[in-house]
Chains A and B, each alone.
Chain A
C-alpha cells in the first residue's frame, strides 16, 4: 500500500512538474526579454537567461510612451476605485445585512442580477453618460465613476456582515452610539481581513482594466499603463524590449503581492462561489 502511494505520488509529480514549468514559461520569458537588447530577444534558440539591458529597454519604453506617467495614472485611478468601491460596497452590504426595511429583498435581487448580465449591455450607455453628458473623457473620474457601484463588492460585504454577531452591534446601541458610529467604529474594524481581500481584487481589476480606459482616455498624458502599452503593441517599429519592461513593471508588483498574500486573493476570487 505504501509502495503504491509512493509510485502514484511520483507519477503525479512527474506529470505536474513539466506542466507547471510550461505555465511559468511566459512569465519567465517576459522577465528575460525585458533584460535583453532587441536582437537577443529575437535570437533562435530562445534565450532563457536574463541579460543586463533592463535599463536601456526602460529608456526606449519611456521614449516610445511616457510610461512612468502612465503608471502614476494607473496607481491613482486604481486607488480611487479601490477606496471608493470599498466604502460604497461596505456601506451598502452592511445596510442589506444588518437592517430590515421595505423592498430590501428587491434591492438585493436587482444588485445580484447585474452580476449575471454581460458588461457589454451597459457599456454604450455608460460611455454616452460619461463622455457626452458629463464630459468626463480624459479625467480620472471618468475612468473610475461607473465602476464604483460594484455588485460583487456588495454581495461579498453583505455575506461578511451577515456572519458578524449582532450582539456586538447591540452592545454599541446600548451605549448610545449612533448607527454611523457603530458601522465605522465597531463593525468595520471587525471585518478588516475581508476588506483587505476585497480591496486586493478591486485594485487588481482596476489596475488591469483595458477596454473602458481605452474608450474614455484619448490624451497620451492621461493613459493608464495598459492603455499606454496597448498603443505600442500594434506598431511595427517599436522596442519589444521596452514593451516587455512595461509588462514586467505592471505585473511584478502583483506577483510579489500574490506570493505574500495568496490567501486574500483566493478569498476574493472565491467570493460568491462557495457558500460558507
Chain B
C-alpha cells in the first residue's frame, strides 16, 4: 500500500525531535570545544577538556557521583528485588497496603520530598535525631558533616526510587512462565534452587533495564543535593549534575558545562556497555 500518511503522522514529532533532541546532541558536543568565556565564542579544542582534567571541583563531583552510584544503586536494587519477591509471594496478605506504602513515593516530586527530608534530618529538632536520642545515641549533625550529609542523600534517593524499581522487577517476576517453576519443582528443586535457576535468569533482562535506568539517573543527580544539602558541607555532596548547573547556569560557561555533560554521557555509555557485556545471555 502506498500512502503519504505516515509522513504526515510523523512530521510534527520529527520536527520537534530534530530541533530539541537530535541537533542538541550534536551541538553540545561541538560546544564542548568552544571557549564560551569570550565574546564571540571561539573554537579552542583543548580549553574545556583540558580544564576538566585539572579542575579539583570536577574530580570531587565525579568522585561523589561515583560513590553514590556504587553505594546507593546496589543497595536500592537489592532492596527492590527483595520487595518485589515479597509482594509476589503467596505468603503475603494485605498486598494493597504494602504496595501503597512502597510505591507511593513514585508520585512524590523531588522538591516536596527534599523539603520533608530536610526537616526530618534537622540537627536540633528533626525526627531522625529525636529517634536516635530516644535510643541513647547523640545523633548527627546530618546536613553539616560530610559523611552524614552523603548518607541523607543516599537515604532520600533510596526512599524515592526503591518502589519504582520494585514495580519494574515485580512486572518481570510476573512475566516468568509458571510452567518453569512447576518443572523445576517436579525435578525436586527447592525454593532456593528455584530462585537461582529460574527466577534470577528470568529476571535478567528486567534487572539490566532497571540497573541502566538507575545508573543514568544517578549520574544526573541534581535536585536532591541542590535542595537538601546545597552540595555541602564544603563540596561533600557536590555531584556532576550540580556542578554542571553551576558552570552552565550560574557562570553561564556553556562550553565547560557541555564538556561535563558529555563526561556524564560517556560514563553512561560505558556503564551501559559494561552491563550488556556482563549480563549477556551465555
Q: Is the CB of B111 within 8 A of A116?
A: no
> In the assembled complex, which residues on chain B have CB atoms less than 8 Å from the CB atom of A116?
212, 216, 268-269, 272
A270-B168, A274-B175 known; A91 vs B13 contact (CB < 8 Å): yes
A244 shortest CB reach to chain B, Å: 7
| Bound-complex Cα distance A123 to B109 (A) | 20
Interface of A is mostly: helix
Instruction: Name which of B20-28, B50-58, B70-78, B145-153 contacts chain A.
Output: B20-28
Q: Is the CB of B109 within 8 A of A244?
A: no
A266 shortest CB reach to chain B, Å: 6
Q: Is the CB of A233 within 8 A of B227?
A: yes
B14 sits at the interface (CB 8 A):
yes
Whose C-beta in chain B lies nearest to the C-beta of A207? B109
A26-B159, A269-B106 known; A125 vs B115 contact (CB < 8 Å): no
A46-B130, A210-B111, A259-B100 known; A95 vs B10 contact (CB < 8 Å): yes
B92's partner among A13, A27, A179, A230 (CB-CB below 8 A) is A13
| Bound-complex Cα distance A9 to B22 (A) | 52
A90-113 near B? 1/0 per residue, CB < 8 Å: 011011101101001001001100
Whose C-beta in chain A lies nearest to the C-beta of B16? A149
A26-B116, A226-B111, A274-B172 known; A8 vs B91 contact (CB < 8 Å): yes
> In the assembled complex, which residues on chain A have CB atoms less than 8 Å from the CB atom of B264?
118, 120-121
B167 sits at the interface (CB 8 A):
yes
A23-B102, A46-B130, A119-B220 known; A258 vs B107 contact (CB < 8 Å): yes
> In the assembled complex, which residues on chain B have CB atoms less than 8 Å from the CB atom of A275?
175, 205
A114 sits at the interface (CB 8 A):
yes
Q: Is the CB of A272 within 8 A of B209?
A: yes
| Bound-complex Cα distance A266 to B102 (A) | 13
A-B contact count (CB 8 A): 270
A89-B13, A251-B112, A257-B107 known; A120 vs B265 contact (CB < 8 Å): yes
A125-B28, A229-B115 known; A95 vs B210 contact (CB < 8 Å): no
| Bound-complex Cα distance A147 to B119 (A) | 32
Whose C-beta in chain B lies nearest to the C-beta of A17? B98
A27-B104, A118-B264 known; A12 vs B92 contact (CB < 8 Å): yes
Total chain A interface residues with beta-carbon distance under 8 A: 93
A120-B220, A124-B31, A270-B168 known; A30 vs B89 contact (CB < 8 Å): no
| Bound-complex Cα distance A28 to B167 (A) | 22
In chain B, positions 104-147 with a C-beta closer than 8 Å to chain A are 104-120, 122, 124-127, 130-131, 133-134
B115's partner among A95, A179, A233 (CB-CB below 8 A) is A233
Whose C-beta in chain B lies nearest to the C-beta of A91? B9
Q: Is the CB of B9 within 8 A of A262?
A: no
Q: Is the CB of B172 within 8 A of A92?
A: no
A2 sits at the interface (CB 8 A):
no
A251-267 near B? 1/0 per residue, CB < 8 Å: 10011011100100110
In chain B, positions 11-39 with a C-beta closer than 8 Å to chain A are 12-14, 16-17, 19-25, 27-28, 31
> In the assembled complex, which residues on chain A have CB atoms less than 8 Å from the CB atom of B110?
208, 210, 226
| Bound-complex Cα distance A33 to B13 (A) | 44
B206 sits at the interface (CB 8 A):
yes
Whose C-beta in chain B lies nearest to the C-beta of A114? B21
Whose C-beta in chain A lies nearest to the C-beta of B10? A95
In chain A, positions 199-258 with a C-beta closer than 8 Å to chain B are 204, 207-208, 210-211, 215, 226, 229-230, 233-234, 240, 243-244, 246-247, 250-251, 254-255, 257-258
A26-B117, A226-B111 known; A215 vs B249 contact (CB < 8 Å): yes
| Bound-complex Cα distance A226 to B223 (A) | 11
B192 sits at the interface (CB 8 A):
no
Q: Is the CB of A101 within 8 A of B98?
A: no
Q: Is the CB of A230 within 8 A of B111?
A: yes
In chain B, positions 220-262 with a C-beta closer than 8 Å to chain A are 220, 222-223, 227, 230, 241, 244-245, 248-249, 254, 257-258, 260-262
B195-226 near A? 1/0 per residue, CB < 8 Å: 00000000001100110100010011011000
Binding site for B on A (CB under 8 A): 5, 8-9, 12-13, 16, 20-21, 23-27, 29-30, 33, 41-46, 88-89, 91-92, 94-96, 98-99, 101, 104, 107, 110-111, 114, 116-129, 145-149, 151, 154, 179-180, 183, 204, 207-208, 210-211, 215, 226, 229-230, 233-234, 240, 243-244, 246-247, 250-251, 254-255, 257-259, 262, 265-266, 269-270, 272-275
The 9 closest A-B CB pairs, nearest first, are: A125-B24, A208-B109, A179-B5, A95-B9, A247-B112, A20-B101, A149-B16, A92-B13, A122-B24
Interface CB pairs A-B, < 8 A, 21: A23-B163, A26-B159, A41-B125, A88-B13, A92-B9, A116-B216, A120-B264, A124-B24, A124-B254, A126-B24, A128-B254, A129-B20, A148-B16, A180-B5, A180-B8, A208-B109, A210-B110, A230-B111, A244-B116, A247-B112, A273-B172
